[in-house]
Structure 1
Amino acid sequence: MPSPAFDDYLKTVYSHTEWQDAPITPSQLATALGIAPSSVTEMVKKLAAAGLVSHQPYGAVRLTDAGRDRALHMLRRHRLIETWLVREFGYAWHEVHDEAEVLEHTISDRLLEGIDQRLGRPRFDPHGDAIPDAEGRVDREPFVLLADAPAGHTGRVLRVSDRDPELLQSLEDAGIGVGVELTASETGIHRDGAPAALPDGADRVIWLSA
């Protein structure tokens, strides 16, 4: 069976193409995981030998069907736990990622099913990422990265990346979260007709409905 380290790699490979199409490279994988490139090379070889990824030297890393199934299984755990921590324990959305990273490897399938049932089988986590159902199905509507939104485009915030907790907290302080409606204009981003003071880099971590 895949190890927790395998699972972390598979989740990262899947998540990289969840909101854009370009496959992940070994160097990007190393950066995302905070691991030396040489270590990534060895792990990718192990994942390929296990039939979980496909990879050619110097090429991108792609999930096989088995790898995708395993990644979705772990993302379901991770995102349900994040949602549980926010709704039941009062965690803020910038505090849940690291906790979920630990708990996703330890709780039983029975407890996970209980959490899902208690929460009303949510479709999205606090950051707007889709929670796969028990069969691995994912529901997501068309989207556009805020930085790529054309002038005049108005859309609801569908997702905010959870990679930078400080940026998440700054966005929360600015009143920006999933479901908020934003408009892109030639002069910046507006909310309710008024300029929205977004922190630096925010347009690269916010996705709007298309």
Structure 2
Amino acid sequence: MPSPAVDDYLKTIYHHTEWQDDRITPSQLAAELGLAPSSVTEMVQKLAAQHLVTHRPYGPIALTEAGERRAAAIIRRHRLVETWLVREFGYGWDEVHDEAEVLEHSLSDRLLERIDERLGHPTHDPHGDAIPDASGRVEREPFVLLGDAAAGHSGRVLRVSDRDPALLRSIEGAGVSVGADATVQDAATLRIAGEDVRLPAEAASAVWLSA
């Protein structure tokens, strides 16, 4: 049965490994969701009983095939809503996350598909995160985190984390956008269109480039 609480768990587990390979631990999941570890342990056991995750005591958590399908479906809703709000209603990319958190649970499947059609079946949201298609498939390409990129590395800005709205505004104000061609000068400086763009130090762990 649909459950916002279950969907939030699955979505968080799914998102954790989109831009790095390490699986999420129960303590990390508790921190991400802002919940007590005991509450998370209880819910993970319930998810495992529903065959949505696999987990051994004190070990990392992984989605099963069924869990990944369900997570991809709710993430598809969230990211389509974010894209819709930016394109159709003029929201800033720093404003859409909380709105999408509410709307993702209330839109009918029919309306969601009409939104997808109107937007031209986008493959990525305003922050560069992949939007799963109706079957759960996503389009991704090799990437490198800005903080891990060597000086001189050139690539497109693939993604900017939406975790911190203030950081998003700072990065946008500096002139960085998803899709921009950039060359790494150092972990806080990109050369874009012949100009050196200085970013906040936090951008090193919030901006991804094509590899």
| Inter-partner Cα distance in structure 1 for 2:10 and 2:112 | 20
SS in 2 for 1:196: strand
Aligned to 1:109: 109
| Inter-partner Cα distance in structure 1 for 2:14 and 2:186 | 34
TM norm structure 1? 0.97
Contact 2:147 2:205 in 1 (8 A): yes
| Inter-partner Cα distance in structure 2 for 1:205 and 1:187 | 11
| Inter-partner Cα distance in structure 1 for 2:22 and 2:120 | 34
SS in 2 for 1:106: coil
The structural deviation recorded for 1:57 is 0.6
Aligned to 2:83: 83
Unpaired runs of 5+ residues, structure 2, are: none
The structural deviation recorded for 1:187 is 8.1
The structural deviation recorded for 1:63 is 0.2
Aligned to 2:119: 119
| Inter-partner Cα distance in structure 2 for 1:124 and 1:89 | 18
Aligned to 2:204: 203
Unpaired runs of 5+ residues, structure 1, are: none
After superposition, give the CA deviation of every residue in 1:2-46 in whole Å (9 maximum; x if it has no partner). 411000000100000001100000111111111111111111111
| Inter-partner Cα distance in structure 1 for 2:190 and 2:11 | 34
The range that moved more, 66-75 or 182-191, is 182-191
SS in 1 for 2:198: coil
Mapping of residues 20-31 of structure 1, within 5 Å: 20-31=20-31
Aligned to 2:130: 130
| Inter-partner Cα distance in structure 2 for 1:117 and 1:60 | 38
After superposition, give the CA deviation of every residue in 1:72-125 in whole Å (9 maximum; x if it has no partner). 000100000000000001100010001001100000000000000000110100
The structural deviation recorded for 1:188 is 5.0
| Inter-partner Cα distance in structure 1 for 2:153 and 2:51 | 42
| Inter-partner Cα distance in structure 2 for 1:187 and 1:197 | 9
| Inter-partner Cα distance in structure 2 for 1:37 and 1:90 | 39
TM norm structure 2? 0.96
| Inter-partner Cα distance in structure 2 for 1:70 and 1:95 | 25
* CA separation of 1:114 and 1:159: change in aligned 2, threshold 3 A: same
The structural deviation recorded for 1:141 is 1.1
One-letter code aligned to 2:202: G
Contact 1:79 1:125 in 2 (8 A): yes
Does the alignment pair 1:99 with 2:117?
A: no
Aligned to 1:66: 66
Does the alignment pair 1:139 with 2:177?
A: no
| Inter-partner Cα distance in structure 1 for 2:58 and 2:29 | 13
| Inter-partner Cα distance in structure 2 for 1:159 and 1:97 | 15
Identity among equivalent pairs (%)? 69
| Inter-partner Cα distance in structure 2 for 1:115 and 1:157 | 26
Contact 2:146 2:187 in 1 (8 A): no
